[in-house]
Amino acid sequence: MIASTTRRASALDGKRQPRSFAKRYWRKCDDTPTLGSIRVAVQVSLTLFKQKLGQSNVTSLVERVSRFTVILKNPNKRTKPVMGKIMKSLKDLPLVARRSITFDRGTEFVSWPHLQAEIGTQTWFCDPSSPWQKGTVENTNRRLRRWLPRKRDIRQCTDHDMKVICDRLNNTPRKCLGWKTPAEVFREKMLEEMR
């Protein structure tokens, strides 16, 4: 008992920061800025598969207004490769399309300051255990499970397979978009914003 108390005390005496230290600087998604009546944000989530199939996973990026989706295959949940792929996929978009991004509280997103510094995207975080705060990406993950069930070995999927799944999602008309496809709405929004 005394050893564990001493260990906690030494962790707080300046040698090491407690885990809650970094979380203090996280901004909640309740504070996400709005443009007129539309929130401009990309929502991000990590989709996991059965552990016996390895640590591979899929990151889904979904634009909130148009429902335009990009999915990225990751070899593991480490923050550098995951954030590196997110930065690479967002870097080519115009600034209006990557104005802000909302993450859940997963450990794979702890290097969010690099994202903000390198591509100028503001980052926001959902409250813990609050998936309804990023409903668009949760709905998209449910749709993705048609092609990527939990039992599927994601290591066997290629980047081309991921692109085919993205194309299916982005070219399917949606009732919430007035029976337009996410690709059409995203294109229209980008042309409108760039004028």
Q: What is the pLDDT of residues 21-52, one digit of tens each?
A: 444 445 565 555 443 333 446 888 877 767 67
* pTM score of the predicted model: 0.77
Q: Which pLDDT score is estimated for 37?
A: 34
Q: Is residue 105 part of a domain?
A: yes
Q: Does 181 score more than 70 pLDDT?
A: yes
Contacts of residue 3, defined as CB under 8 A and 6 or more positions apart, other chains included, come to none
Residue type, 187: R
Classify residue 175: in a domain, yes or no. yes
**For residue 15, is it within any domain?**
no
pLDDT of residue 3: 44
Give the mean pLDDT of the chain: 81
On the question of pLDDT at 7 being above 90, the answer is no
Per the domain annotation, does 80 fall within a domain?
yes
pLDDT class of 56 with cuts at 50, 70, 90? confident
181: containing domain? 21-194
Domain count along the chain? 1
The DSSP line for 124-179 is EEPPTT-GGGGHHHHHHHHHHTTTS-TTS-GGG--HHHHHHHHHHHHTS-BGGGTS
| pLDDT value at residue 142 | 93
Domain harbouring 63, CATH code: 3.30.420.10
pLDDT at position 9 over 80? no
Q: Binning pLDDT at 50, 70 and 90, where does residue 54 land? A: confident
Provide the pLDDT for residue 26: 53
- Measured between alpha carbons, how far apart are the two ends of the chain, in Å? 66
| 51 within a domain of the structure (yes/no) | yes
CA distances from 45 to 107, 137, 159 (A): 12, 7, 18
Q: Is residue 1 part of a domain?
A: no
**13 within a domain of the structure (yes/no):** no
* 8 falls within a domain: no
Reported as a single tens digit per residue, the pLDDT across 135-173 is: 899 999 999 999 999 888 889 999 999 999 999 999 999
pLDDT of residue 128: 87
For the cut 50, the answer to whether the pLDDT of residue 6 exceeds it is: no
